[in-house]
Structure 1
Amino acid sequence: MARASSKKPPVLLPPDPMPARVDPCLAMLVDKPPKGPDWAFEVKWDGYRLAVHIEPGRVRVITRGGYDWTTRFPTIADDARRLAVKTAILDGEAVVLDDKGRSDFGMLQRAPGRLPSAVEAGAIVLYAFDLLYLDGRDLRRLPQRERRRLLEPLVAGREGAVRLSEEVQADGDEFLRVACAHGLEGIIAKHRERPYRSGRNDSWRKITCTRRDSFVIVGFEPSVMPGAIGRLLLAARKGDELVYVGGCGTGWSRQESVKLRGLLEEIVTNSPAVSLRRKNAVFTEPALIAEVEYRTWTDDGKLRHPSFKGIREREDDATVFDLASLEA
């Protein structure tokens, strides 16, 4: 007579609920790359931070600020449907590459946005660098190396609109030197043993060749050239207020300057968003955000050597620079 098996059936754990939204992990700005085998390095992409939610019957593309921009990135949503998953949340950056393979934010923001461009929306690529949820399992508690192990087979080697952001096996200082020499914005370092933590923390660190942040456009000064812009007037957040942080007068072509002035003239206001008196200033509603590259801050809280890199709509203003970070 056969003996009954004493082996107990495996316990099936209930699936983790899929988050409707995950606040992204944000890299802390540091001066030098960290040392040691616990750190992984990637290129710092210059684009829109997005979370791609793959759900039964639909795909959602969510911005850093929590807005649903699926209709702005249709090729990313369509390609994500082809991934071999039932449910997943990818964390990544949407970019457009220039002819040297570098991400170009100016080209990207013209692709789905209001400024005309020869760039087609289909040229936009999502470089996925983290996997937060997969087929009923919340992965955020896992270390970065394990999340990466699960991400790679899903997107590695793909040539579509969803691709893998490669890790670079190199010394951090040398990688930064090469990245800056090739005109890249900088690099990202990620601690291999830490879980995914929403908000800014030192689990992820960014090291930039120059500083780059987002500022609210609160007005402009006309150029001596008819119909163009001489300087953009910029503001940063301080608590619930906007504070003027200086003007930016470089970084655009004559054609871009004329188009930008046309956008701003649509939102001219007699109620400035900042306390500022400047001769010839034209104040605008704080509806647009400028991406600005700069070297550092002056002692009186103004941007030093700012250069315009692109424009965002204020709808997704989670990236606007907060002056509190200068005091931290």
Structure 2
Amino acid sequence: MPKAKAKAKTKAKKEEPATAGLGDKSVEAAERYLEYDPVSKVTWKLGDATPYLYLANIFESIAETTKRLEIAELLTNAFRTILASKPTDLLAAVYLASNTIHPQHEGIDLGIGDATLIKALAEATGRKDESIKNDYKEAGDLGSVAMASRSTQRMMFPPPPLTVTGVLKEFRAIATTDGEKSVDRKKGMIKKLLVSARECEAGYVIRSLQGKLRIGLAQQTVTQSLAHAIVLHGDAGKKKKGAELADALGAAFDVLKQVFSECPTFDQIVPALLEVGIEGLQERCKFTPGVPVKPMLAKPTTGVSEVLKRFEDIAFTCEYKYDGERAQIHLQENGKVSIFSRNQEDNTAKFPDLINGLKRYIKPHVKSVVIDCEAVAYDREQNKILPFQILSTRGKKNIVESEIKVKVALYAFDCLYLNGEPLLREPMHKRREALYSAFQEVPGEFFFVTEKTSRDIDELQGFLDESIAENTEGLIVKTLDATYEPSKRSLNWLKLKKDYMEGCGDSLDLVPIGAWLGRGKRTGVYGAYLLACFDEDGEEYQSICKIGTGFSEVILEELANAMNPHVIDGPRSYYKVSDAMKPDVWFEPKQVWEVKAADLSISPVHQAACGLVDPQKGIALRFPRFLRRRDDKEPEMATNSEQVAEFYNAQANKQEFNANGDDD
């Protein structure tokens, strides 16, 4: 199993996305797909269960390259081979490649502790715990240790080979095992997998159980490979060539991305693809209550003038932007209520007060509904919104309603589903009408967002000032004819925050990937961190700043304790970091932090958005300061490189507005 490269990769120019339609690289990739014979790669009996070793070897090949197009090609062809042999194994292969075992909203994860894995590995190989711990400390990768520790003992009756579906089944059993002696039972199941493992299989079993494959395979590539494999396996893939095939592959990926954002469960999507293909997928897999859609997001702006300029001939409305937690509330026809976070985590247990209060907000004729809201800490005695930091003190599990001290108010701003009818493709003004028809305000508990429709610059500036006085973050400006676009940061929704006058137009959500040991008063913790944005096309983390301000002593200690379990031996191959940046420790990408900066500048050192503004240089934050942890975001949901470039370019626009006297 290849070790992660100690030196971060660099590239002068971003590779063209595989779905670029008529782009040269996508056409070349399409032609290469036609040269691949899936059946010839089936080294087991056609129709038999797919060996796990086949998929593990694909992971090995992916780990050997940093080129996204090559990674997508390897995985696409692997899925095609599985389709050619046993299509029903595709679902398990997709889950294992995604490093997941269930849909995200079900909240069932592996993430087995290292101590349990080390004990299981020791028992499976006959080695001592301490010896494995020492090797792990030196290698920094328990998967590599597992592969090197394979038992040489001969068995009279060797266990049957691992299969793709069998491994997923065992992973699911391990994840759902609880109760008395559950750790021992989990350890027994893990040991059974390791004893049956051959060649590199043990390494990937361990890595999957840790919750990190460490091969730079992102969810977007898995989704793309799945779409491409289905097209190439079908009639369209056999009849089309060149640019025509490249377009078909790109269109299929677009369809699957859209469907997955509205119905994010492979348990439904993969069987539907096998039965009706890409063409029938949107009709088969629809948004329904109980399964969260990925939320629509807004783009930041630099001021009222920019809003009016962007929406010059379009009807729009402004809403207060509340500083709380995104809450997508689902009421099913059977009466079940669920609350999901912005990253689709099931937060229902966190808000028993909202669940019990919902019947007071919903009108009698409503049988099923999904609304998009912001849950905000609220002082019901003084009738005012409280800061986000107050909300963050609420517990997350085992919440007893009678013991809740931080009260919450819901501010509803969108209706996505009502009485059996999905509303995602309806215009904003119709979704707002549906929201008003289905709910009623309850003082201190449930409100509709405060909104205003106007094109007068002074009136809008006054509305922005009012929103800030009401302890909100500013405004969200929305076009009235826009549909709801799950997971997209759309120009149909613009953020106009109070921060826009303070330099950088918005805060950034960044991922800590390294740190420097603290000195003096910061001895024993990390004194500064290396932060990165996420580049979606290259699926890599690009350094953007070194940050050492905005931390209290308590926060520094909390962050060090949170990051220490994620220390790794060196930068991942998918970290884009200059040789000039040499942190004392490196981290797996696990957390997202909200950061504010004075402004952004072209940097010869940092790599964020390299090639998007300057051909050779990246962008860095000037005078960054830490604001808070974003527990509601996954690392791949961090600010991306294109947004960084937009922030940089917006600075020039803002200065232009100010120079012309068009803005404050």
**TM-score, length-scaled by structure 1:** 0.79
Kept in 2, the 8 Å contact 1:54–1:81? The answer is no
The one-character-per-residue Cα deviations of 1:167-188 (angstroms, maximum 9, x if unpaired) are: 1466222222444567643211
1:202 matched to 2:520? The reply is: no
Higher relative contact order (Cα pairs below 8 Å, separated by 6+ residues) = 1
Kept in 1, the 8 Å contact 2:592–2:633? The answer is no
- SS of equivalent to 1:145: helix
Aligned to 1:105: 388
The one-character-per-residue Cα deviations of 1:172-213 (angstroms, maximum 9, x if unpaired) are: 222224445676432111122333233222221111232112
Aligned to 1:294: 597
Kept in 2, the 8 Å contact 1:86–1:135? The answer is yes
Matches within 5 A, 1:69-148: 69-82=347-360, 83-84=362-363, 85-97=366-378, 101-102=384-385, 104-112=387-395, 122-148=406-432
Q: 1:18 aligns with which of 282, 288, 292?
A: 288
Distance 1:22 1:280 in 2: 38
**Structure 1 letter corresponding to 2:480:** R
1:191 matched to 2:479? The reply is: yes
Q: 2:319 aligns with which of 33, 37, 42?
A: 42
Kept in 2, the 8 Å contact 1:228–1:254? The answer is no
**Structure 2 letter corresponding to 1:18:** T
The one-character-per-residue Cα deviations of 1:74-100 (angstroms, maximum 9, x if unpaired) are: 333343355333111111222335899
* Runs of 5+ consecutive residues of structure 1 not aligned to the other structure: 1-15
Matches within 5 A, 1:112-261: 112=395, 122-152=406-436, 154-159=438-443, 161-168=445-452, 171-180=459-468, 184-198=472-486, 199-210=488-499, 211-221=506-516, 222=518, 224-225=520-521, 226-239=523-536, 240-261=539-560
For residues 224 and 67 of structure 1, do their structure 2 counterparts lie closer, same or farther at Cα, with a shift above 3 Å needed?
A: same
Aligned to 2:623: 305
Distance 1:188 1:103 in 2: 19
Aligned to 1:61: 339
Matches within 5 A, 1:274-289: 274=575, 275=577, 278=581, 281-289=584-592
For residues 326 and 187 of structure 1, do their structure 2 counterparts lie closer, same or farther at Cα, with a shift above 3 Å needed?
A: same
Kept in 2, the 8 Å contact 1:90–1:130? The answer is yes
Kept in 2, the 8 Å contact 1:50–1:61? The answer is yes
Please identify which structure carries the higher strand content: 1
Stretch moving more, 84-93 or 228-237 = 228-237
Distance 1:258 1:100 in 2: 35
* Runs of 5+ consecutive residues of structure 2 not aligned to the other structure: 1-285, 398-402, 500-505, 604-618, 647-664
Distance 1:53 1:27 in 2: 22
Kept in 1, the 8 Å contact 2:413–2:448? The answer is yes
Please identify which structure carries the higher helix content: 2
**TM-score, length-scaled by structure 2:** 0.42
Note the aligned Cα RMSD (angstroms): 3.3
For residues 182 and 288 of structure 1, do their structure 2 counterparts lie closer, same or farther at Cα, with a shift above 3 Å needed?
A: same
The one-character-per-residue Cα deviations of 1:9-68 (angstroms, maximum 9, x if unpaired) are: xxxxxxx97353323222122223334893221122223323111112312222333332
Identical-pair percentage: 27
Kept in 2, the 8 Å contact 1:109–1:311? The answer is no
For residues 298 and 307 of structure 1, do their structure 2 counterparts lie closer, same or farther at Cα, with a shift above 3 Å needed?
A: same
Stretch moving more, 96-105 or 145-154 = 96-105
Distance 2:450 2:471 in 1: 18
Q: How many residues align?
A: 309
Kept in 1, the 8 Å contact 2:600–2:622? The answer is yes
Rg comparison, structure with higher value: 2
Kept in 2, the 8 Å contact 1:105–1:310? The answer is no
Matches within 5 A, 1:264-275: 264-273=563-572, 274=575, 275=577
